């Protein structure tokens, strides 16, 4: 039988995402409800190594549910991936009596948590906090909905100016390894082409399609490209189009880190709150090395190693939807 958890540390790690604060709030307040002692680890795993660990109370998380970013800050820690760094982190947790961890982050954070948990027998629960929605075992990740809505709002505004000038715009959104932001925002804004890392980009077919649209006097075209597409981001796509279709008035817009910030949407606040609550419940039930997600509107548990290895896959049906609706 696993020993009962009495003191829980919560941290955010890797890239920030809107809704992380809502998740921190839910973890802390659920823990306090069960009379547990709660601690915040500043700057992710680096804060564990440097003993930057603070007690958290109900007031510590007041008025943060609507804020983007993370009050606990976040950092990437190379030191934590060395045995000496993890040992130092463990000693600091032991000093505070922390016997359970909630890690809000992506697959890199989960990889570190799993290694640490296996070495020192500290139960770790992962919450998927990433705008990319690239983790298996959950229909949504904390921050994805906000990032997509930010992209949609920006692309809608760009379409207005594209329409005024009969221009083509190539818009780059975030997604180094996953194209979900590009896919969802592209469909929602009526993009003519969506380029993502998961599918091979047929440059010739894209050029043919643009020429055919031009013949039909369809002069306003929007191409949404994920930064990790195989032929590159928006600048690389624009270079190809300018070379092949030099008469087209082509502009580039890179949305960048605007997609990471901002007040989380209602959906992200709800998901973060639900998962934060479930994380504490899971630790009290003796769960170990588990990621908590939402599948078919139900809380779903996935072993951390499975969440790390498996990636969300984009179905062929979505790509068919793109092709049909953009014609």
Q: Locate 101 and state its tokens.
A: 């961890």
Of residues 99, 132, 134, 145, which has the active-site annotation? 132
Specify the DSSP class assigned to residue 73: -
For residue 129 the two structure tokens come to: 């906090």
- Provide the 3-class DSSP secondary structure of residue 4: coil
Number of H helices, E strands in the chain: 11, 11
Residues 225 and 197: their CA atoms lie apart, in Å, by 9
Whether 13 and 105 have beta carbons less than 8 Å apart is answered as yes
Active site residue 249: no
DSSP labels, 115-182: HHHHHH---EEEEEB-TT---TT-S--BTHHHHHHHHHHHHHHHHHHHHHHT-EEEEEE--SS--HHH
| Secondary-structure percent of the chain, ordered helix, strand, coil, rounded to 5 | 45, 20, 35
Q: How far apart are CA 263 and CA 209, in angstroms?
A: 38
Q: Please check whether residue 11 is in contact with residue 45, taking contact to mean a CB–CB distance below 8 angstroms.
A: yes
Q: How far apart are CA 214 and CA 220, in angstroms?
A: 9
Give the bridge partners for 10, in sequence order: 40, 102
- The answer for residues whose C-beta is within 8 angstroms of residue 253's C-beta and 6 or more apart is 154, 158, 169, 170, 171, 172, 234
Q: What is the set of active-site residues?
A: 132
């Amino acid at each position: 039988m696993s020993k009962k958890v009495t003191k829980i540390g919560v941290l955010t790690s890797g890239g920030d995402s809107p809704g992380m604060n809502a998740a921190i709030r839910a973890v802390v307040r659920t823990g306090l409800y069960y009379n547990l002692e709660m601690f915040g680890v500043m700057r992710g795993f680096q804060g564990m190594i440097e003993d930057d660990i603070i007690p958290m109370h109900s007031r510590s998380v007041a008025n943060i549910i609507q804020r983007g970013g993370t009050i606990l800050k976040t950092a990437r820690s190379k030191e934590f991936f060395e045995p000496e760094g993890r040992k130092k982190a463990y000693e600091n947790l032991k000093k505070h009596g922390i016997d359970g961890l909630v890690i809000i982050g992506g697959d890199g954070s989960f990889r570190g948590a799993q290694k640490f948990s296996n070495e020192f027998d500290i139960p770790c629960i992962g919450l998927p906090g990433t705008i990319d929605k690239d983790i298996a075992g959950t229909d949504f990740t904390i921050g994805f909905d906000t990032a997509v809505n930010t992209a949609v709002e920006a692309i809608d505004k760009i379409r207005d100016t594209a329409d005024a000038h009969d221009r083509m715009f190539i818009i780059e959104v975030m997604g180094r390894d996953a194209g979900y932001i590009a896919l969802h925002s592209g469909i929602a804004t009526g993009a003519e082409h969506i380029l993502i890392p998961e599918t091979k980009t047929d440059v010739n077919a894209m050029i043919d399609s643009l020429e055919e649209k031009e013949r039909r006097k369809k002069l306003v075209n929007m191409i949404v490209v994920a930064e990790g597409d195989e032929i590159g981001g928006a600048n690389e796509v624009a270079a190809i189009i300018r070379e092949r279709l030099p008469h087209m008035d082509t502009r580039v817009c890179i949305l960048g880190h605007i997609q990471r910030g901002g007040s989380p949407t209602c959906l992200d606040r709800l998901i973060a709150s639900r998962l934060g609550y479930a994380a504490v419940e899971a630790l009290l039930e003796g769960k170990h090395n588990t990621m908590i997600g939402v599948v078919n509107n139900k809380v779903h548990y996935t072993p951390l190693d499975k969440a790390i290895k498996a990636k969300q896959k984009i179905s062929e049906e979505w790509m068919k939807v793109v092709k049909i609706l953009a014609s």
